Amino acid sequence: MKNKKVISLFLFLFLAVNAIAQNQEKEINQVTELIDRVVKWQNEKTDHVEKYTLTNWHFAAYYIGLMKAFKTTNNSEYQSHLYKIGVEHQWETIPDMYHGDKIAIGQVYLDLYDQKGRGVMIKNLKWVLDAHLLRKKPAPDVRYDKNPYQHEWWSWCDALFMAPPTFAKMYQMTGNKVYLNYAIDHWLLTTDYLWDKEENLIYRDDRYFGKTTKAGKKIFWGRGNGWVYGGLVHMLEIIPKDHPKRQLLLDQFIGMSEALLEIQKADGLWRANLLDPGVFAFLDKKSGALVQSINPVDVPENSSSSFFCYGFAWGVNQGILSKDQYLSPMLNAWNGLKQHVNEAGRLGYVQPVGKDPKPFDADSWEEFGTGAFLLAASEYINYLKTSSDDEISFQKGNVFYENNLSDASKTQDWRMEGEGAVLFKSGWMEMFSPKEASHHVFWCPKDLPENFVAEWEVQNIETEEGLCIVFFSAKGVNGEDIFDRSLKKRVGVFRQYTKSDLNNYHISYYANAPNKPNRPFSHLRKNKGFVKVHVGRPGIPSNSKEVHKIQLIKKMNHIMMNLDGEKIIDWKDDGKSLGPVLGSGKFAFRQMQWTRFRYRNLKIWELKS
């Protein structure tokens, strides 16, 4: 009887988990289909093409959302559409090159460059950004009112979505910190001036200082704050965690999140006038006087609501915003937004181009509203992909392999490929290439099981340059042992491991290569093919000489890596788009020729069933 109860319990748990997975996949498919419907509707609309031109901010904000949708759904039609725009416009920005809004299209060019690697895509953009960097006069002046240079600097809050992430992405592609520091320093110039510390919201520009509605409420424009909230997400995705000014932007993101949480409405959405939602309040073009009118119908403003939903979802997914506080509000916002997408795919209740809370209706739509919605929908999919099992639930079983790497006898059965060497000091295995002759890979002789936990400690000896990677689940493309003589000879050259006759996963958790110095992000790739399947959180800081503990977990199709107890990689292989999930196979440490790291206390456990 006892055995029957145990069997029944396991059967129940299996069916329950299977049902959750099926529901999760069903919802992901539904959101993916919704995204496609919205994109197809928008791409067929030509109403605003002549008025705004296809590379101006109006469309660039849509393209930024479309690029996020491509990265999330892997729908190549989205990428092709963006590539076509770039080619047709010769990868150029709008001629008014110092206007912050005009360079927003550069974010898309930079993403396409990252994906396709063609220098022509960013040649003009780099020239434009370099012109910004070289300016000495006039000095930065973020006043807007009565400032003849009001568009030369980021004097209005919208610009913070358009310009700083463009500079930050150029840093991401080139490794040149001058672009990132320019973005951060000028971001802070604007926010120091326009940020209201009492409300943790931002004014559109200085013309709204001191102005209030008849109810005495300050005027904070919904979409203006949406631009900044979305811009904060895109900046924080790029700024390394050890950057001395990152915390300033993180504080802004958390502070604004708290303020937005307080003013979110029952339908999950926000209004054009954030603090006085029943009033439209805008400046008369001629006199500059504040005009106010009562909003007879309480309706959402969905470009701002999309940005706020996006930020909530991103904050929850990154562990920055507490699920206890923000998960339900995020879900409420998403459920509210999708109700305003009609059968054709149009998102309504989007305030037209403006600077302040003005009237609009259910039929109002704009390209930038669609772009913001695509950001929210894509990040919601990212949430769904991990929502049923955000953390890998596992239990260590028997120790499969243990090696403290303390002396040469411990690695006599390991195999080095490339001109690499190891030496042993003070209980550590130090790995390097004599005379920095070549990249190198050091293989553990054991085939790791399909499900395992591996832990080891590392320390950087030389911080000037380097790259550390771990290969795992490595076998020949036909299932051969990687040392099978039928496989091609390998000498440490990267393509021999990523684009030849091996299948494997690999994670880069330290990256400071000469062509991309101080790349902050950890990457997970699936090979054969060198396909970047996941860009994680920052790995080991480039200048760190601390001892770091790495934990790698593989549970069926779920792969996670923790650095000093903090998750930096979390990805599930769907087993479809890039071939079957990889199972058991060899494990190795890889370094570039300039790298000098040391390792100790490698221990690998099987997972308990």
Measured CA to CA, the distance from residue 468 to residue 507 in angstroms comes to 8
Q: What burial class does residue 235 get, using C-beta atoms within 10 Å of its C-beta: 0-12 exposed, 13-18 middle, 19+ buried?
A: buried
Is the pTM above the cut of 0.75?
Answer: no
* Contact between residue 235 and residue 314 where contact means Cβ atoms under 8 Å apart: no
Which are the contacts of 526, defined by CB distance < 8 A and separation ≥ 6? 505, 533, 573, 578, 582
Domain contains 60? no
Rounded to a whole number of angstroms, the distance between the first and last alpha carbons of the chain is 22
Q: What is the pLDDT of residues 324-352, one digit of tens each?
A: 788 878 998 999 999 999 999 999 999 99
Please identify, among 310, 340, 370, the residue that sits at the C-terminal boundary of a domain.
340
Note whether 437 and 557 are same-domain residues: yes
Looking at residue 295, its pLDDT comes to: 83
Specify the number of domains making up the chain. 2
Note whether 254 and 188 are same-domain residues: yes
Looking at residue 500, its pLDDT comes to: 96
Measured CA to CA, the distance from residue 79 to residue 171 in angstroms comes to 22
Place of tokens 């890596």: 561
Note whether 413 and 330 are same-domain residues: no
Q: What burial class does residue 106 get, using C-beta atoms within 10 Å of its C-beta: 0-12 exposed, 13-18 middle, 19+ buried?
A: buried
Place of tokens 């029943």: 278
Note whether 334 and 400 are same-domain residues: no
Domain contains 377? no
Domain contains 421? yes
Task: Give the residue numbers spanning the domain of 94.
Answer: 76-340
Please identify, among 316, 340, 364, the residue that sits at the C-terminal boundary of a domain.
340
Domain contains 36? no
Task: Give the chain's residues under pLDDT 70.
Answer: 1-21, 388-392, 515-521, 535
Domain contains 87? yes
Note whether 456 and 595 are same-domain residues: yes
Please identify, among 322, 340, 358, the residue that sits at the C-terminal boundary of a domain.
340
Note whether 416 and 302 are same-domain residues: no
DSSP string, 554-588: EETTEEEEEETTEEEEEEE--SSTTSSPP-SBEEE
* Contact between residue 203 and residue 252 where contact means Cβ atoms under 8 Å apart: no
Question: Which of the residues 101, 158, 276, 447 is marked catalytic?
Answer: 158
The residue ranges of DSSP E strands in 319-449, in sequence order, are: 396-403, 415-417, 421-425, 428-432, 440-443
Pure H helices in 417-538: 495-498
* Contact between residue 442 and residue 416 where contact means Cβ atoms under 8 Å apart: yes
Of residues 93, 208, 221, the one with CA closest to residue 162: 93
Question: Residue 553 forms beta bridges with which residues?
Answer: 453, 560
DSSP string, 196-243: ETTTTEE-SSGGGTT-B-TTS-B--BHHHHHHHHHHHHHHHTTS-TT-
CATH number of the domain enclosing 154: 1.50.10.10
CATH number of the domain enclosing 442: 2.60.120.200
DSSP string, 20-60: HHHHHHHHHHHHHHHHHHHHHHHHH--TTHHHH-TTSHHHH
Compute φ and ψ for 393, nearest 5 degrees.
-85, 115
Domain contains 406? yes
141 is catalytic: no
Note whether 252 and 116 are same-domain residues: yes
Q: What is the pLDDT of residues 299-333, one digit of tens each?
A: 999 999 999 999 999 999 999 998 778 887 899 89
Q: Tell me the angle at which helices 76-88 and 57-73 cross, rounded to the nearest 10 degrees.
A: 150
Report, in angstroms and rounded to the nearest whole number, the Rg of the chain calculated over CA atoms: 26
Q: Which helix (H) or strand (E) holds 503?
A: strand 502-512
* Contact between residue 506 and residue 478 where contact means Cβ atoms under 8 Å apart: no
Note whether 178 and 274 are same-domain residues: yes
Note whether 323 and 404 are same-domain residues: no
Domain contains 350? no
Note whether 289 and 436 are same-domain residues: no
Domain contains 188? yes
Looking at residue 16, its pLDDT comes to: 45
Note whether 106 and 193 are same-domain residues: yes
Half-sphere CA count of 352, side-chain side, radius 13 A: 8
* Contact between residue 523 and residue 114 where contact means Cβ atoms under 8 Å apart: no
Measured CA to CA, the distance from residue 556 to residue 575 in angstroms comes to 10
Note whether 440 and 577 are same-domain residues: yes
